[in-house]
Structure 1
Amino acid sequence: MPSQDWVRTSLRTPGILVFGMVLAPCGWILDLVATVSPNWRTINAITGQPANQFIQQGIWDICRATETSQLGCGVQDTAYFNEKIIPIAQGLMVASLVTNFIGLAIAIAGVRCWRDTPRWTLAGIGGLVIFLSGVMTLIPIAWYTHILESIPVSSPSTDIRAGYSIILGYIGAIFEIVGGLVMCIGICRCCGGRNRGEKPVEEVMGSQFRHRKNTPPRRVEVPSLSSSKSTASSVPYSRDSLDEDVSFPRAKPAPRSVRTPHTDRPYDVDL
């Protein structure tokens, strides 16, 4: 069976590629904030400490703070950093950032900002790499949330909450997973080519033929050369009408001089 030819109906960048190229950088920024910020877990109501003081724990640092100020970071907690989830989260979050960056570089080369037709395979591979980066972010975030209250604490507390880094990590991972999956849809043509913004050549040519067939021919008015000459003149007056018009005085013509053939010598009768 001969392969079917396809043609793009628009030179605009396909929507699935635009969608993925917007969500992937947004997810990368959110993951970066979640990685470096020391607020994966917040410990409140610490025994022996003021009521307004709390501890913020991340995967790289621990800080003490109050509701109005930051008291300091670099708090040592050996039991916390020796927990199994911490080194795994450090490695996966950094790997996710690097992988997302690589996926964006591959996808940019295939999106075709400077070409008439996208490189669908290259763009799909970039989307797959971005999807993997989202998965690498989601694994430590979900694991840390699951064992949030079982991670050892140096100071006894009864109020342990998830920090904003967990929320940002979830949103960033979802952005990367959804954006990467949408870009992967372009690897294979489906839904009648609508996922790529393409149509079969036969369908496009047939629609153009039907449009021309249904369009009535344009009528052109051609002046006839055999039409009788009109007696009406386009000039609102004629020479005869000017001669008959006596509503204004006319200047009298100058008398004509009569030249006689005789010379200027006087005769006898003149004397």
Structure 2
Amino acid sequence: MRTPAVMIIGIVLAPCGLVLDLVSTVAPNWREVRNIPGAARDEVLQQGIWDICQAFDASNTLKCGQTDENYFKEQVINSAKGLMIASLIVTMAGIVVASLGIRCWEETPNLLLAGLGGILIFISGVLCIIPIAWYTSLLNTIKASGSDIRVGYCIVLGYIGSCFMVIGGGALIVCLFQLCFKKKEQLTNSHSNKYYHNNPRSPKSIIKTVDARDFTRPQQPTSLRRPIEVGDFTVPPVKPAPKKTVNITDFSMNKPCDADF
């Protein structure tokens, strides 16, 4: 049996979303701070939820482990840490459950497990998009040492990954609707079979097939049927000789008959 399209979409997008979610969580580039007073012109502070790195555009050097107590005390940072980790854990659990439900090694998938895995993956996408959107809304509100603040690539990857997980989870949730329709169809068939089993005289049990020839002409026993003679049509038919007619009123012959005597 071929794997349904909704299962393929879900099982492909979920791992892609997991990878993007992982990069967004670990990488220290949720925003970039430039034009820092008293610093080099090409200096850039890359701030994440776990670490802050100092980068220089001219030399392409990166130095991480920078400290900023005010930044890490922000509520959105602490909330993002917990939500992103929870999103990763729920995503992995959802992928495992969905894989057991899809089970490409079997002929028929388990729609219930696939649907439950889709619910977990959908929830993980929501858990990922909440801190991403929250951080984006407070991007310029969080205190920074520079005047030029830009969105980091982690925000972009987080949005894309969360969308992948929401779409993939939603596709797998469709399996639950398919399961409901299948159960409803089986229930309807079982009710109809039970009805006809308990009512043997129902119209379904007395329906007989009738040949259409029965309505065109009455059937005769084989013994009473006359054989049909097949004539030879290759020889032209012989015309019968014309019959001679005698006119009893004709007296031209003037021959006496026995009755005259």
TM range (shorter): 0.5 to 0.7
Indicate the larger mover: 159-168 or 114-123.
114-123
For the pair 1:173 / 2:153, whether they are aligned, the reply is: no
State the partner residue of 1:124: 115
Residues in 1 aligned to 2:81 and 2:166: alpha-carbon distance in whole angstroms: 20
Give, as a single letter, the amino acid of the residue that structure 2 aligns with 1:33.
V
The Cα of 1:189 is off from its aligned counterpart by 2.4
- Per-residue deviation, residues 24-64 of structure 1 (Å, max 9, x unmatched): 00000000000000000100111111111110000000010
Residues in 2 aligned to 1:126 and 1:180: alpha-carbon distance in whole angstroms: 7
Residues in 2 aligned to 1:39 and 1:91: alpha-carbon distance in whole angstroms: 17
Correspondence for 1:36 among 26, 30, 45: 26
Indicate the larger mover: 131-140 or 43-52.
43-52
Q: Any residues of structure 2 matched to 1:147-226 within 5 Å, and which?
A: 147-153=138-144, 155=145, 157-189=146-178
Q: Which segments of 5 or more consecutive residues in structure 2 lack a partner in the other structure? A: 183-188, 190-261
The Cα of 1:125 is off from its aligned counterpart by 0.3
> Does the C-alpha gap of structure 1 residues 77 and 23 become closer, same or farther in structure 2, counting only changes over 3 Å?
same
Residues in 2 aligned to 1:12 and 1:125: alpha-carbon distance in whole angstroms: 20
Give, as a single letter, the amino acid of the residue that structure 2 aligns with 1:59.
I
Q: Which segments of 5 or more consecutive residues in structure 1 lack a partner in the other structure? A: 1-10, 194-199, 201-271
Residues in 2 aligned to 1:114 and 1:32: alpha-carbon distance in whole angstroms: 29
Correspondence for 1:90 among 81, 87, 93: 81
The Cα of 1:70 is off from its aligned counterpart by 2.4
State the partner residue of 2:43: 53
The Cα of 1:161 is off from its aligned counterpart by 0.6
Residues in 1 aligned to 2:65 and 2:178: alpha-carbon distance in whole angstroms: 53
- Per-residue deviation, residues 147-203 of structure 1 (Å, max 9, x unmatched): 0000012x2x2210110000000000000000000110111129x88xxxxxx9xxx
SS at match of 2:55: strand
For the pair 1:69 / 2:98, whether they are aligned, the reply is: no
Residues in 1 aligned to 2:154 and 2:8: alpha-carbon distance in whole angstroms: 27
State the partner residue of 2:104: 113
For the pair 1:137 / 2:147, whether they are aligned, the reply is: no
Checking the alignment, whether the CA contact within 8 Å between 1:56 and 1:65 is kept in structure 2 is: yes
Checking the alignment, whether the CA contact within 8 Å between 1:27 and 1:175 is kept in structure 2 is: yes
Give, as a single letter, the amino acid of the residue that structure 2 aligns with 1:62.
I
Residues matched between the structures, number: 182
Residues in 1 aligned to 2:72 and 2:19: alpha-carbon distance in whole angstroms: 25
SS at match of 1:117: coil
* Structure that is richer in helix per residue: 2
The Cα of 1:72 is off from its aligned counterpart by 1.1
Residues in 2 aligned to 1:141 and 1:106: alpha-carbon distance in whole angstroms: 26
Residues in 2 aligned to 1:135 and 1:122: alpha-carbon distance in whole angstroms: 20
Residues in 2 aligned to 1:144 and 1:189: alpha-carbon distance in whole angstroms: 38
State the partner residue of 2:93: 102
Q: What root-mean-square deviation, in Å, do the aligned CA atoms of Structure 1 and Structure 2 show? A: 1.7
Identity of aligned residues (%): 49
SS at match of 2:35: strand
SS at match of 1:76: coil
SS at match of 1:72: strand
